[in-house]
């Protein structure tokens, strides 16, 4: 929370965290769970206040827990849900439908977009014009 004073009244403003998968710290990765890391943007209003990159060592894929698509998952999404728990918004190029549902269950806004550049995507999100293409989720 950030405190500002307006007309002698203290007002608290929430900082929103936006997470995106990224292999190169610039573009949104093609596969959310197999990404090398995550860009985390701290945004306030229509402004990015901070951006960090967090190495992915917590998804099932990053830990080597791959699955057979015919036999289902052999791991849960608990690691990624816990690691991104402070993020209110998740932006991806694609992700499995189960992970999308898990994020939504934890009240995360999930946007699957065609925009490639992470900075452009967060800017479009803040302006309310970032396209959402739920057909890019996969049975996974």
Return the pLDDT at 70: 40
Phi and psi torsions of 99, nearest 5°: -65, -40
Return the pLDDT at 32: 86
Return the pLDDT at 33: 78
53 burial type by CB count under 10 A (0-12 exposed, 13-18 middle, 19+ buried): middle
Return the pLDDT at 19: 97
Q: Which CATH superfamily is domain 15-138 in?
A: Dinitrogenase iron-molybdenum cofactor biosynthesis domain (3.30.420.130)
Phi and psi torsions of 136, nearest 5°: -85, 0
Q: Count the Cβ atoms, other than its own, within 10 Å of residue 60.
A: 20
Return the pLDDT at 135: 73
| Blockwise average pLDDT, block size 10, the chain, 140 residues | 49 80 95 89 94 84 48 58 93 89 93 96 96 71
The span from the CA of 133 to the CA of 91, in Å, is 11
Helix (H, G, I), strand (E, B) or coil at 10: strand
């Amino acid at each position: 929370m950030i405190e500002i004073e307006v007309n002698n009244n203290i007002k608290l403003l929430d900082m929103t965290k936006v997470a995106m998968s990224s292999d190169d710290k610039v573009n949104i990765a093609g596969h959310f769970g197999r990404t090398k890391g995550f860009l985390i943007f701290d945004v306030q209003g229509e402004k990015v206040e901070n951006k960090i990159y967090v190495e992915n060592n917590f998804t099932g894929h990053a830990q080597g827990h791959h699955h057979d698509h015919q036999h289902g998952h052999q791991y849960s999404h608990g690691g990624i849900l816990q690691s991104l728990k402070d993020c209110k918004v998740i932006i991806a190029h694609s992700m499995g439908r189960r992970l999308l549902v898990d994020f939504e269950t934890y009240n995360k806004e999930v946007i699957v977009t065609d925009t490639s550049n992470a900075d452009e995507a967060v800017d479009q999100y803040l302006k309310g014009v970032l396209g959402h293409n739920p057909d890019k989720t996969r049975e996974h």
